[in-house]
Chain A
Amino acid sequence: MMVPKKITNTLLGILLIALITGCSKNDPVKEDTPELVTKATLTFSSVGGGASIVVSATDPDGDGVQDIVVDGPINLMANTTYGLTIELINGLVAVGQPGYSITSEVEEEGTEHQFFFSWANSTFANPEGDGNLDNGSDPVNYQGGTNSLDTNGLNLGLTTIWTTTSTLASGNFRIVLKHQPGAKTATSDASVGETDLDLTFILNVQ
């Protein structure tokens, strides 16, 4: 059976069109990744002066299988007041480029973000208790910096104030950043929204 010429020609024509339209350049474009946090740094600065205590949690492979590496412990002096600032960066973006500092993004979108904290009872004289992660109305001092509150005057927590107890203490110190688009209110607690950050450090008062 000979293939009729008409049909072979049509077929070849179609194949040709398919090949021409198909062989466009298909190189992907490298994406910025502003949501990726590869490093979170906590800086406790003594209000009365002295050396700051700096710890960080690093996850260089982002969504990869490697576990996060958490520094620590955080060793604070007893009976001392500290300002805590939190800095988040995306190490996949070059320093200074947009998207490198996630801190500034969280600050810009402060009205839909809030940090929540939990710690072992009697670690701090102020705030008292064990933090507001389990109960949103428990005390945390959202003070000490322009980024302690959002532009609506609600708690944000990029800077917070902590006074340690006079006795020795040791336990976990956990910080959780919640993203609460359209849901952040004066009473919205840590059960609202999606988690952008969830880190646990060891904290000692000595």
Chain B
Amino acid sequence: MRIRTCIFWLLLLSPGELLLAQEGCTQRLTGRVLSEAGSPLFNAEILIQSLAMGTVTDSLGNFAFNKVCAGTYVLEFRYVGYKTRMEKISTSERKLFIVAMTVESQALQEVVVQEKLDKVERTTNYAVLDGAKLNETAGKTLGESLTALPGVSTIQAGPGIFKPVIHGVHSQRVLILNHGIRQEGQQWGAEHAPEIDPFIASNIVVIKDASAIKYGTDALGGVIVVNPPPLPEKAGLGGSINSVIQSNGRSGTISGVLEGGIKNLDGFGWRLQGTGKRMGDFHAPDYSLTNTGIKEFDFSAAAGYHSEKLGAEIFFSHFQTELGILRGSAVNNLDDLVIAMEQEPPIGTTDFSYTINPPRQEVSHNLLKLNSHWAQANGEWHLQYGFQSNFRKEFDIRKSSLSNIPAIDLELRTHTVELEYETAGSKGRQFCFGLNGMYQDNRNVPGTQRIPFIPNYTTVSGGPFAVAKLTVQKWVIDLGARYDFRNYSVIGYDYKNALYTSDLAFHNVSASAGASRAIGKQQTIKLNVSSAWRPPHVAELYSLGTHQSAASVEYGLLLNDSTNEVMNINDVPFNVEQAVKTVATYQFAANRFQLEATAYSNMIFNYIYLQPRGVTQTVRGVYPYFRYTQTDALFLGMDISAAWTISPRFILSPKVSLLRAADVRNDDYLVFIPSNRFEIAVRYQAVKNNFYVEPRLKYVARQYRAPRVITVRQIQDAVDNGTDPLGGSTDNFDFMAAPDGYVLAGVAAGISVPSGSGRFDFRLALENALNTSYREYTNRLRYYADDMGANVSFSLKYTF
């Protein structure tokens, strides 16, 4: 508690001379504070107890004590969630002094720590996007922001729709925790992005193994944890305003935060936050990407009270977006698809506009969260309730009388309850027990004038869990296990518009074990083995219909192959997905060089995917059709990131993500697996002020491990000749070969300028600087159009 208050006051006061000067002295102490992974820590606190002086780091992790007397001082480095460090530093030191902070183990006594990195166990493999790095992604969507982290990529459906992919898996297999609550939206579609405003977060943690036992099923690939900053606990007003303008899309984004406490009521704090965004059509190097605009409006409010023993918070957020989907990607059959793929610029390309026409989406998401904690002598209780309502409308290009009627109109309401007890045993042992429960209701809003793509359903799920943290000699060990059940009650209309109902029940166990130890002062190794399972999503079992942007029909797993009738799950050979993920991490952190290397293997048994099955003829023409099927999939990969401080002014940071994925049951490749990517950045930063400039080069290799190609023309020819277009095989295929690899260059520069008690951060960035025409394999738009061209963005943040 004390630490946070302290930082809060320092924020208000720094970098005023008062705290930083010793009278009559002219020496200077400077340095940088980094996380173990090498990312700068923003607002880390540095104290010189002997002089009663203190300061905080800027967004690049830099700090400076000006005007101290010559000598050697003990500096105390504090950062929420990290171990406090004491380091000696002399004013005669010529080299840049760099401090790498290590994450604190989850200390139960320290509420502060839990609020920062609550979701992370010591032995877990994770990456954090925070401070300056998070600021640099201002204006981007959540999914796009996270690509700054090694091992995280995206599945895209145009320049504005990003789904995060962790180690090659995504959608249902990645859990997103927003403010501690499982995000429950319609994540089954490839063009369904997470409904979260990234401005809401002070840090985003990506857990890249399946060890997050506390949060329930589904986290086969990993967990994305969106953490808010802790609420203020003292009176006083603080906040920030962030504005971003971008040339590509001619967009503007503005986001603001205002927070404070109440006089004479210590422990009480509140925060208001809001974001507005308007983007027009994005632009590829040679043409406009017509109908790719975005309109977004989000706000949130939080209030809470914390004392030593008790705490309670209430939080509400609203997210609302309207997204256009490339006009040239709307097709109704294979002939349309041939035309759409072969025409460049895409069909329907017009001049720049802010107008959003069909095909488009309207999505909104509300979250109400109540939580409290109650500390006792030897443990602490946590209770949390969340209510989410998610509304999704998708508008296709339809007959004009229907063009304003959504083709998909879904309401999803979710209640979650969580009770948890944490306690500490002897010898540093820590235990946590808990229960989660969820009730969910998915409803098709009547009036779409189409047989619903997915049925109505209610879900009841829940289960108990236990997590233990032990220290055995030099090893820190995490153990966890949980049991879950999930019951679905489904009611929908089948292909002939006749009613059907089904009741389904699934249950299984998950377990996780991790160990980590330090080797000497500079190295850490971690190993985590976890087994997680995932009940099937209703969409995977019962979906029925065509995708306007894919010219393909999708059938759920429980629809009969030849009659389309809904089958009983007991009559088909179905098993829930079960993953065994093993992650080994090596970390090296010396003063000037930090390295993290991660190797992983994720074996997903009964992996559910869309398998091409054949072509069906309808009155609209010929469609290939896909059926949800199960196989065994293996994901093997490696992430490497490093930061090398060549001189006080230059930092070199390379990043590598390698992945190979295969369907091991059928000896085949999977579709839409991110290819290998390499990135290198060189950062120059001025020593006197915190100006920086950072050129960056990114190379994305071609995906050679892609399924066979069957072009639309080959399918048509086969249909005309009466032969099987798929050659009698259900191997995966793609309509188009994977695009070539590409290199993107970019450069960013920024500076922070103190002003009174506040601070201005300016940032100017140029992305795709050479205006390279390229297509990304995991962007569904690659069939129709090039990716985004050059983009200049300027952002200005004022913090007070």
Interface set of A (CB-CB < 8 Å, partner B) = 1, 4, 7, 10-11, 14-15, 18-19, 21-22, 24, 26-38, 40, 57, 59-68, 88, 92, 99, 105, 108-109, 112, 176, 179, 181, 183, 191-192, 194-199
A108 partner residues in chain B, CB cutoff 8 A: 401
6 closest cross-chain pairs (CB), A and B: A198-B621, A29-B446, A64-B564, A194-B332, A18-B415, A64-B495
Name the contact of A198 in the complex, choosing from B335, B452, B493, B548 (C-beta under 8 A). B335
Let me know if B88 is at the binding interface, CB within 8 A.
no
How far, in whole Å, are A201 and B650 apart by their CA atoms in the complex? 72
How far, in whole Å, are A37 and B619 apart by their CA atoms in the complex? 7
The number of chain B residues with a CB under 8 A from chain A is 71
Let me know if B553 is at the binding interface, CB within 8 A.
yes
Let me know if B644 is at the binding interface, CB within 8 A.
no
CB distance from A22 to the nearest CB of B (A): 4
**Which residues 411-437 of B have a CB within 8 angstroms of A?**
413, 415, 417, 419, 421, 423, 437
A181 partner residues in chain B, CB cutoff 8 A: 397, 400, 403
A99 partner residues in chain B, CB cutoff 8 A: 449
CB distance from A77 to the nearest CB of B (A): 28
Question: Is the beta-carbon distance between B616 and A65 smaller than 8 angstroms?
Answer: yes
Let me know if B305 is at the binding interface, CB within 8 A.
no
CB distance from A129 to the nearest CB of B (A): 20
Question: Is the beta-carbon distance between A28 and B444 smaller than 8 angstroms?
Answer: yes
A38 partner residues in chain B, CB cutoff 8 A: 619
A67 partner residues in chain B, CB cutoff 8 A: 616-617
Question: Is the beta-carbon distance between B449 and A197 smaller than 8 angstroms?
Answer: no
B398 partner residues in chain A, CB cutoff 8 A: 35
Question: Is the beta-carbon distance between B493 and A197 smaller than 8 angstroms?
Answer: no
B403's nearest neighbour on chain A, judged by CB, is A181
Let me know if B661 is at the binding interface, CB within 8 A.
no
B402 partner residues in chain A, CB cutoff 8 A: 34-35
B343 partner residues in chain A, CB cutoff 8 A: 191
Let me know if B336 is at the binding interface, CB within 8 A.
yes
Question: Is the beta-carbon distance between B620 and A197 smaller than 8 angstroms?
Answer: yes
Question: Is the beta-carbon distance between A192 and B347 smaller than 8 angstroms?
Answer: yes
Name the contact of B449 in the complex, choosing from A18, A35, A62, A191 (C-beta under 8 A). A35
B619 partner residues in chain A, CB cutoff 8 A: 37-38, 40, 57, 59, 68, 88, 197-199
How far, in whole Å, are A19 and B462 apart by their CA atoms in the complex? 14
**Which residues 545-588 of B have a CB within 8 angstroms of A?**
545-546, 548, 553, 555, 561-564
Given A194-B331, A199-B619, 6 other A-B contacts at CB below 8 A? Answer: A31-B450, A31-B451, A33-B451, A34-B399, A192-B347, A198-B333
A194's nearest neighbour on chain B, judged by CB, is B332
Question: Is the beta-carbon distance between B374 and A92 smaller than 8 angstroms?
Answer: no
CB distance from A184 to the nearest CB of B (A): 11
Q: A14-B385, A65-B555 are in contact. Are A194 and B495 (CB under 8 A)?
A: no
B617 partner residues in chain A, CB cutoff 8 A: 59, 67-68
Question: Is the beta-carbon distance between A59 and B439 smaller than 8 angstroms?
Answer: no
Let me know if B508 is at the binding interface, CB within 8 A.
no
Name the contact of A61 in the complex, choosing from B397, B413, B455, B564 (C-beta under 8 A). B564
B512 partner residues in chain A, CB cutoff 8 A: none
Name the contact of B399 in the complex, choosing from A29, A33, A109, A191 (C-beta under 8 A). A109
Q: A64-B495, A194-B330 are in contact. Are A4 and B374 (CB under 8 A)?
A: yes
Let me know if B688 is at the binding interface, CB within 8 A.
no
Question: Is the beta-carbon distance between A109 and B415 smaller than 8 angstroms?
Answer: no
Question: Is the beta-carbon distance between A15 and B456 smaller than 8 angstroms?
Answer: no
Q: Of residues B347, B444, B452, B621, which shows the largest number of chain A Cβ atoms within 10 Å of its Cβ?
A: B621
How far, in whole Å, are A19 and B458 apart by their CA atoms in the complex? 12
How far, in whole Å, are A10 and B312 apart by their CA atoms in the complex? 13
How far, in whole Å, are A182 and B661 apart by their CA atoms in the complex? 44
B164 partner residues in chain A, CB cutoff 8 A: none
How far, in whole Å, are A141 and B211 apart by their CA atoms in the complex? 69
How far, in whole Å, are A28 and B437 apart by their CA atoms in the complex? 25
Question: Is the beta-carbon distance between A28 and B446 smaller than 8 angstroms?
Answer: yes
Q: A33-B497, A61-B564, A198-B621 are in contact. Are A179 and B397 (CB under 8 A)?
A: yes
A197 partner residues in chain B, CB cutoff 8 A: 619-620
Name the contact of B496 in the complex, choosing from A11, A34, A61 (C-beta under 8 A). A61
Question: Is the beta-carbon distance between B383 and A66 smaller than 8 angstroms?
Answer: no
A24 partner residues in chain B, CB cutoff 8 A: 441
Question: Is the beta-carbon distance between B415 and A112 smaller than 8 angstroms?
Answer: no
